[in-house]
């Protein structure tokens, strides 16, 4: 028997980044997790089916966190007056070492997954630690909490603290073992190859994980051109290449199933390479500012046809709520506009919403908007507390206010893969 889901309410989505598409008091219909359409009047063929009526609430697509560090949830909101490398050495590396302990990992990974869930994240691309055993635990917990996506055991075998520096051969062996155990184990959560970034990985590890990604057909998730100091290390190690992307590409790590975070300082060749390989960039505006990394040329990327989504980058970012990432993407783009002498135009609200929904969602499949044929990930937003009864706002204005002002308390319904979660 086919499973029919019908949601009634004020439907808002962005099939294209140029503007919201809204249907007031409409019906969103999905059959066996495939969206049939949005209707002002319910088609007769669904007349006998139950309807979940959300009244005057907004119904929007689920949100997609394209870059987040699960173990860093422990110290979110700390050290954000530091620069990147000081922050990593003070907080990130010592904390990640503790995730060797399953009991410790269980507590914080559960809290992390629940935070994503209550803040409206449908699916995410997640860094774990070097420990494959507790990475499996993270994946189990995400599955239980109905947060889909990809999680990865980190690889780092050089330029790392002794307590987190893997043996090169063992790093590759452990990654293979973990992939074999988890490749088809869960419905919503799948593995991704996750070299931390070029400075902490030898050529042997980058080559090895590139081969594993191809062999197992899994995504790649890492950082690219994030920090001037990081890029100088890469140039010193690989003088034959003039950008991070060329190094990743040499090892087979740039494909149309790759997510690279940040991309703050790309050169023209690197922009074209990323576009041509079909890489998705995870723009993390909150952490870009917090760790003083810089402001990426997002408008330039979009104009070139580069795929871009949003990331919370916990704990460089302090909030797992992607409404914050949408709002701050616009804010940061205005600083870029000023910095460029008003040449790099800033993002619009619909564009930022698109990045947080369809921009990231398309990486996981046919997701992120309510177009016919897509899967059903959806959020129901009660924005009543954000206005007063005398306000007469359009649905577009209500959605804009949600992006700037709403939080988890405004999310009253969540659907992932066609199921109420």
The model's pLDDT over 33-77, given as tens digits with 9 standing for 90+, comes to 999 999 999 999 999 999 999 999 999 999 999 999 999 999 999
On the CB side of 188, CA atoms within 13 Å amount to: 22
**Alpha helix segments (H runs only) across 123-267:** 132-144, 168-182, 203-216, 228-237, 244-250
- 7: β partners: 28, 52
Tell me what the mean pLDDT of segment 266-285 comes to.
98
The single residue listed with the structure tokens 């507390």 is 385
* Amino acid 256: pLDDT: 98
Domain 4-62+369-420 class in CATH = mainly beta
pTM: 0.97
* Amino acid 291: pLDDT: 84
* Amino acid 390: pLDDT: 63
Judged against a pLDDT cut of 90, whether residue 83 lies above it is answered with no
Judged against a pLDDT cut of 80, whether residue 277 lies above it is answered with yes
Domain 63-361 class in CATH = alpha beta
Q: What percent of the chain has pLDDT over 90?
A: 95
DSSP string, 140-182: HHHHHTT-EEEEE-EE--SSS-GGG---HHHHHHHHHHHHHHH
What distance in Å separates the CA atoms of residue 408 and residue 53, rounded to the nearest whole number? 20
Judged against a pLDDT cut of 80, whether residue 388 lies above it is answered with no
Q: What percent of the chain has pLDDT over 70?
A: 100
The first and second tokens of residue 132, run together, are 């494959």
Per residue in 97-132, pLDDT (tens digit) is: 999 999 999 999 999 999 999 999 999 999 999 999
Tell me what the mean pLDDT of segment 315-341 comes to.
97
Tell me what the mean pLDDT of segment 22-34 comes to.
98
Which segments of the chain belong to CATH 3.20.20.140? 63-361
* Amino acid 131: pLDDT: 98
Per residue in 183-242, pLDDT (tens digit) is: 999 999 999 999 999 999 999 999 999 999 999 999 999 999 999 999 999 999 999 999
* Amino acid 46: pLDDT: 96
Contact 66, 311 (CB under 8 A): yes
Three-state SS at 57: strand
- 34: β partners: 31
The single residue listed with the structure tokens 């055993």 is 133
Which segments of the chain belong to CATH 2.30.40.10? 4-62+369-420
What distance in Å separates the CA atoms of residue 326 and residue 338, rounded to the nearest whole number? 19
The single residue listed with the structure tokens 């209500």 is 398
Whole-Å CA distances, 257 to 52, 254, 314, 327: 35, 8, 22, 27
């Amino acid at each position: 028997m086919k499973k029919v889901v019908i949601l009634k309410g004020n439907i808002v989505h962005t099939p294209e980044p140029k503007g919201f598409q809204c249907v007031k008091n409409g019906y969103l219909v999905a059959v066996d997790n495939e969206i049939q359409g949005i209707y002002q009047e319910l088609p007769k063929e669904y007349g006998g089916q139950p309807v979940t009526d959300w009244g005057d609430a907004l119904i929007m697509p689920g949100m997609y966190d394209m870059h987040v560090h699960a173990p860093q949830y422990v110290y979110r909101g700390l050290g954000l007056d530091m620069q990147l490398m000081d922050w990593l050495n003070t907080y990130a590396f010592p904390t990640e070492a503790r995730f060797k302990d399953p009991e410790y990992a269980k507590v914080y990974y559960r809290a992390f997954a629940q935070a994503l869930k209550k803040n409206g994240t449908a699916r995410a691309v997640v860094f774990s630690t070097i420990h494959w055993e507790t990475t499996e635990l993270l994946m189990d917990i995400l599955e239980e909490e109905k947060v889909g996506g990809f999680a990865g055991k980190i690889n780092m075998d050089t330029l790392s603290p002794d307590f987190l520096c893997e043996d090169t051969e063992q790093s590759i062996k452990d990654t293979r073992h973990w992939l074999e155990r988890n490749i088809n184990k869960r419905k919503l959560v799948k593995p991704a190859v996750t070299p931390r970034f070029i400075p902490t990985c030898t050529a042997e590890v980058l080559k090895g994980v590139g081969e594993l990604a191809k062999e197992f057909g899994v995504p790649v998730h890492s950082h690219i051109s994030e920090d001037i100091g990081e890029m100088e290390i890469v140039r010193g190690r690989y003088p034959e290449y003039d950008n991070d992307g060329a190094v990743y590409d040499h090892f087979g790590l740039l494909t149309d199933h790759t997510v690279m975070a940040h991309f703050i300082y790309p050169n023209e060749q690197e922009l074209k390479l990323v576009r041509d390989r079909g890489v998705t960039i995870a723009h993390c505006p909150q952490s870009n500012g917090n760790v003083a990394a810089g402001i990426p040329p997002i408008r330039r990327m979009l104009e070139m046809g580069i795929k871009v989504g949003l990331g919370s980058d916990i704990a460089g970012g302090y909030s797992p709520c992607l409404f914050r990432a949408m709002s701050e993407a616009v804010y940061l783009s205005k600083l870029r506009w000023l910095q460029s002498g008003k040449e790099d135009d800033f993002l619009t609200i619909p564009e930022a919403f698109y990045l947080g929904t369809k921009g990231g969602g398309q990486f996981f499949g046919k997701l992120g908007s309510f177009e016919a044929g897509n899967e059903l990930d959806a959020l129901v937003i009660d924005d009543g507390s954000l206005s007063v009864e005398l306000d007469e706002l359009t649905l577009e204005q209500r959605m804009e206010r949600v992006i700037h002002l709403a939080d988890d308390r405004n999310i009253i319904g969540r659907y992932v893969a066609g199921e109420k979660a």
